[in-house]
Amino acid sequence: MNFKDFPVQALMDITSRPELVFVKGESSWLWDHNGKKYLDFVQGWAVNSLGHSPKCVTEALIAQAPKLITPSPAFYNEPSIKLAQLLCANSCFHRVFFTSSGAEANEGAIKLARKWGKKHKNDAYEIITTLGSFHGRTIATMSASGKPGWDVMFAPQVPGFPKAEFNDLASVEKLISEKTVGIMLEPVQGEGGVNCATPEFMKGLRALCDKHKLLLICDEVQTGMGRLGTLFGYQHFGVEPDIMTLGKGIGSGVPLGALLAKAEAAVFEHGDQGGTYNGHPLMTAVGVAVIGEMLKPGFLDHVKAMGQYLSEKLTALSLELGLGAERGIGLLRALDLKDEIGAAVVTHARDQLQNQAGWAHMGLLLNSPRPALLRFMPALNLSRAEIDQMIEGLRLTLKAVRKAA
C-alpha cells in the first residue's frame, strides 16, 4: 500500500512524523506498511518494557476483556487490587492510585503533596523541581518541568515550582522556604538527555527532606519498572522517596500509570482524586502480568547484564569512531556524538540503512533527544545479538552520515 493512500490529514498535526504506518510489532522488531522491518531501540519512548506485543500482555488482555472491562472506578475490581498489592509488596509504599498516563500520575503527586502541605505544613505548596526535567504535558506538569522554553509556551504557568540545578544540593537548599512542601525529580532525567543523579545527590535530598519535613517525590515514569536494573529506580540509589509515580513500562505498551505513596503521605480524602479510567481492570490486568514477568528470577539480572553489555559496546564504538562518552544506568543509556548529527543519524538509520550489506529491507529506530546525543531505551528482555546488530547498524550509519557531511 502507498503511504499517500492513508488519509492521515484527519489526525491533528502535532509533530513531524515519517511517512510510515506501522502495522505489526514483535519483541524488538516493528514492521511498516510495506513490510520493511525495523530493529527498535526506542520502544515507544521506553514504554514497551517487554518489547512489542509480548505474550503475557496479549494473554492478559484476552483473558480479562471478556470477563470485565470496567465496572466504574466507584467500585472495586480484582486486577487493580492485585496490582496495588504487588506494587506495595515489592516497594517501600503502602497506597496506590492508578492512572492512564505518566503526566496524570504526576498531577496526582502534585495534588497529594499540596494536600499534605495543607494538612501538615501550614498550607505550604511549593515543590522544588530541577532544570532539564520532564514531568509531562498537562499545564501543571509542564510548569513542574524544567525543559527550556516551556515556561512561556502556554503562559501563565501554574505557580509553585521553583527550579534547582540537577545534582547540585546547595541550589536545592537555597530554594527551601516555609512555602516548600516537597522536592520532585527523576532519578535519571530521561527526556533531558539521560542525566543520572549521583548517589550523593539522592541521599542529600533525602536528608534535606528529613531535616525540613518535606516530601521526596520520585518521578519514575521512565526509570521505574526494571529500566535501571532494579524494579524501581530509587532502589538503585538506596534512598526511599515518600511518593513515586510510574507510567510507561508498567503497562508495557498499554495506557497505565500509578501514583504510590507511603501511608503517612497518602492524605487524599473522598472527592480529592478520581478519574473515569483509574484502576481500569483491563489495564491493571496487564500491569499484573508485566510485574509478574519482572519478578521472575533472573529478569532484573538480565537487564543489568544487557545494560553493562550495551555500555561496553557503545564505549568501544566511541573509541573506534572518536565519539564522546556514553552514560546511563541499566537499559537507559545515551551516547554523546560530539557533533550535532543526531537527527541525521536517526533518519539515516531508519530510511537509508537498507542500502547497506546485511540490512536489506531493514531499518534501525533510534532516538536523539538533543542535537548531539543518542538515547537508547530498548526492550528490557532484548538479546545480546540484538545489541550487536544495533551497534553494527549504528557504526554503518555514523560512517555514512559523516561521509555525507
Select the residue whose beta carbon is closest to ligand PLP and give its number: 102
Minimum distance of ligand PLP from residue 334's CB (angstroms): 14
Closest by CA position to 220, among listed 241, 238, 200: 241
Closest by CA position to 163, among listed 200, 211, 109, 126: 126
Q: In which element (H, E) is residue 280 found?
A: none
How far is Cα 146 from Cα 143, in angstroms, rounded to an integer? 8
How far is Cα 260 from Cα 132, in angstroms, rounded to an integer? 24
Taking the least distance from each CB to ligand PLP, the nearer of 367 and 389 is 367
Contact indicator for 382, 59 with CB cutoff of 8 Å: no
Taking the least distance from each CB to ligand PLP, the nearer of 167 and 397 is 167
Please report how the helices 384-404 and 299-321 are oriented relative to each other, as an axis angle in degrees rounded to 10.
Answer: 30
How far is Cα 256 from Cα 45, in angstroms, rounded to an integer? 14
**Inter-CA distances, 241 with 19, 134, 251, Å:** 43, 18, 22
Taking the least distance from each CB to ligand PLP, the nearer of 226 and 363 is 226
Reduced to 3 states, what is the DSSP secondary structure of residue 394? helix
Minimum distance of ligand PLP from residue 145's CB (angstroms): 8
DSSP per-residue codes, 298-366: THHHHHHHHHHHHHHHHHHHHHHHT---EEEETTEEEEE-SSS-HHHHHHHHHHTGGGSTT-TTEEEE-
Minimum distance of ligand PLP from residue 98's CB (angstroms): 13
Minimum distance of ligand PLP from residue 147's CB (angstroms): 11
Taking the least distance from each CB to ligand PLP, the nearer of 245 and 389 is 245
Residues at the interface with ligand PLP (CB under 6 A): 45, 101-103, 106, 134-136, 186, 190-191, 219, 221-222, 247
How far is Cα 364 from Cα 401, in angstroms, rounded to an integer? 14
Taking the least distance from each CB to ligand PLP, the nearer of 42 and 87 is 42
How far is Cα 24 from Cα 363, in angstroms, rounded to an integer? 14
Q: Quote the cell numbers at residue 197.
A: 543523579
